[in-house]
Amino acid sequence: MCTRGSFPLRITHARSTVNHMVHYQARLDRTFAALSDVTRRGVLEQLGNSDASVTDLAQRFHMTLTGMKKHVNLLEQAGLVTTEKVGRVRTCKLGLRRLEEEVAWIEQHRQLWSARFDALDELVEHLKREEKADAQRKRR
Protein backbone atom coordinates (compact mmCIF):
# COMPACT_ATOMS: atom_id res chain seq x y z
CA MET A 1 0.00 0.00 0.00
CA CYS A 2 1.31 3.45 -0.86
CA THR A 3 1.58 6.05 1.80
CA ARG A 4 0.61 9.59 1.22
CA GLY A 5 3.48 11.64 -0.09
CA SER A 6 5.50 8.75 -1.49
CA PHE A 7 4.63 9.42 -5.14
CA PRO A 8 3.95 13.15 -5.62
CA LEU A 9 7.22 13.91 -7.40
CA ARG A 10 6.81 10.99 -9.77
CA ILE A 11 3.21 11.81 -10.57
CA THR A 12 4.02 15.48 -11.09
CA HIS A 13 6.98 14.51 -13.28
CA ALA A 14 4.87 12.03 -15.23
CA ARG A 15 2.17 14.63 -15.80
CA SER A 16 4.81 17.12 -16.85
CA THR A 17 6.37 14.62 -19.26
CA VAL A 18 3.00 13.68 -20.75
CA ASN A 19 2.05 17.34 -21.02
CA HIS A 20 5.39 18.08 -22.76
CA MET A 21 4.80 15.23 -25.21
CA VAL A 22 1.30 16.51 -26.03
CA HIS A 23 2.65 19.99 -26.73
CA TYR A 24 5.61 18.55 -28.65
CA GLN A 25 3.31 16.43 -30.84
CA ALA A 26 0.89 19.31 -31.36
CA ARG A 27 3.75 21.57 -32.45
CA LEU A 28 5.04 18.93 -34.88
CA ASP A 29 1.52 18.44 -36.22
CA ARG A 30 1.04 22.17 -36.81
CA THR A 31 4.44 22.55 -38.46
CA PHE A 32 4.15 19.54 -40.74
CA ALA A 33 0.55 20.49 -41.64
CA ALA A 34 1.74 23.99 -42.54
CA LEU A 35 4.61 22.59 -44.63
CA SER A 36 2.43 19.99 -46.36
CA ASP A 37 1.04 22.47 -48.86
CA VAL A 38 3.04 23.62 -51.89
CA THR A 39 1.63 27.16 -51.68
CA ARG A 40 2.62 27.57 -48.04
CA ARG A 41 6.13 26.28 -48.79
CA GLY A 42 6.27 28.78 -51.63
CA VAL A 43 5.18 31.58 -49.29
CA LEU A 44 8.00 30.65 -46.89
CA GLU A 45 10.51 30.71 -49.74
CA GLN A 46 9.22 34.09 -50.87
CA LEU A 47 9.37 35.52 -47.35
CA GLY A 48 12.92 34.17 -47.05
CA ASN A 49 13.83 36.65 -49.79
CA SER A 50 11.81 39.61 -48.53
CA ASP A 51 8.77 40.57 -46.50
CA ALA A 52 5.52 40.84 -48.44
CA SER A 53 1.94 41.91 -47.92
CA VAL A 54 -0.84 39.36 -48.02
CA THR A 55 -2.10 41.10 -51.17
CA ASP A 56 1.29 40.76 -52.88
CA LEU A 57 1.46 37.08 -51.93
CA ALA A 58 -2.08 36.46 -53.21
CA GLN A 59 -1.19 38.06 -56.55
CA ARG A 60 2.12 36.20 -56.81
CA PHE A 61 0.42 32.85 -56.20
CA HIS A 62 -2.62 33.68 -58.35
CA MET A 63 -5.19 33.24 -55.62
CA THR A 64 -7.85 35.19 -53.79
CA LEU A 65 -7.01 37.37 -50.84
CA THR A 66 -9.21 35.17 -48.63
CA GLY A 67 -7.39 32.03 -49.74
CA MET A 68 -3.98 33.57 -49.05
CA LYS A 69 -5.14 34.80 -45.63
CA LYS A 70 -6.01 31.19 -44.73
CA HIS A 71 -2.56 30.00 -45.80
CA VAL A 72 -0.83 32.79 -43.88
CA ASN A 73 -2.96 32.06 -40.80
CA LEU A 74 -1.85 28.40 -40.78
CA LEU A 75 1.78 29.45 -41.16
CA GLU A 76 1.32 31.97 -38.35
CA GLN A 77 -0.26 29.34 -36.04
CA ALA A 78 2.77 27.13 -36.64
CA GLY A 79 5.06 30.04 -35.71
CA LEU A 80 6.66 30.07 -39.16
CA VAL A 81 5.33 33.50 -40.15
CA THR A 82 4.48 36.68 -38.30
CA THR A 83 2.20 39.42 -39.57
CA GLU A 84 1.85 43.06 -38.74
CA LYS A 85 -1.04 45.26 -39.78
CA VAL A 86 -0.30 48.88 -40.53
CA GLY A 87 -3.38 50.70 -41.76
CA ARG A 88 -5.00 48.46 -44.34
CA VAL A 89 -1.84 46.52 -45.21
CA ARG A 90 -0.94 43.26 -43.46
CA THR A 91 2.76 42.55 -43.93
CA CYS A 92 4.14 39.03 -43.54
CA LYS A 93 7.66 38.04 -42.56
CA LEU A 94 9.36 34.85 -41.51
CA GLY A 95 8.72 33.94 -37.88
CA LEU A 96 11.47 33.76 -35.31
CA ARG A 97 10.82 30.10 -34.49
CA ARG A 98 13.46 27.72 -35.71
CA LEU A 99 12.70 24.16 -36.70
CA GLU A 100 15.08 22.38 -34.29
CA GLU A 101 12.45 19.99 -32.93
CA GLU A 102 11.26 19.12 -36.42
CA VAL A 103 14.82 18.61 -37.65
CA ALA A 104 15.56 16.37 -34.64
CA TRP A 105 12.41 14.32 -35.32
CA ILE A 106 13.34 13.92 -38.99
CA GLU A 107 16.95 13.02 -38.12
CA GLN A 108 15.82 10.39 -35.60
CA HIS A 109 13.63 8.75 -38.23
CA ARG A 110 16.30 9.11 -40.93
CA GLN A 111 18.74 7.23 -38.70
CA LEU A 112 16.14 4.55 -37.99
CA TRP A 113 15.43 4.00 -41.68
CA SER A 114 19.10 4.17 -42.58
CA ALA A 115 19.82 1.39 -40.07
CA ARG A 116 16.95 -0.66 -41.47
CA PHE A 117 18.19 -0.24 -45.04
CA ASP A 118 21.74 -1.14 -43.96
CA ALA A 119 20.40 -4.33 -42.33
CA LEU A 120 18.43 -5.11 -45.48
CA ASP A 121 21.55 -4.60 -47.62
CA GLU A 122 23.46 -6.99 -45.37
CA LEU A 123 20.70 -9.58 -45.64
CA VAL A 124 20.62 -9.31 -49.44
CA GLU A 125 24.40 -9.70 -49.63
CA HIS A 126 24.23 -12.70 -47.30
CA LEU A 127 21.53 -14.33 -49.43
CA LYS A 128 23.52 -13.66 -52.61
CA ARG A 129 26.60 -15.33 -51.07
CA GLU A 130 24.53 -18.33 -49.97
CA GLU A 131 22.96 -18.60 -53.42
CA LYS A 132 26.37 -18.45 -55.09
CA ALA A 133 27.76 -21.09 -52.69
CA ASP A 134 24.75 -23.35 -53.33
CA ALA A 135 25.21 -22.99 -57.08
CA GLN A 136 28.92 -23.93 -56.78
CA ARG A 137 28.07 -26.99 -54.63
CA LYS A 138 25.52 -28.17 -57.16
CA ARG A 139 28.04 -27.94 -60.01
CA ARG A 140 30.46 -30.29 -58.24
Both 18 and 85 in a single domain? yes
Domain of residue 105: give its range. Answer: 98-140
Number of independent structural domains in the chain:
2
pTM: 0.66
Contacts of 81 (CB under 8 A, 6+ apart): 43, 44, 47, 72, 75, 92, 93, 94, 95
* 62 and 10 both lie in a single domain: yes
- The pLDDT mean for the chain works out to 85
pLDDT score at 122 = 93
Looking up residue 70, the CATH number of its domain turns out to be 1.10.10.10
Specify whether the CB–CB gap between 31 and 78 falls below 8 A. Answer: yes
Same domain for 78 and 105: no
Using pLDDT thresholds of 50, 70 and 90, give the confidence band for residue 100: confident
Model confidence at 6: pLDDT above 60: no
Q: Are residues 91 and 118 in the same domain?
A: no
Q: What is the mean pLDDT of residues 70-94?
A: 94
Q: How far apart are CA 42 and CA 48, in angstroms?
A: 10
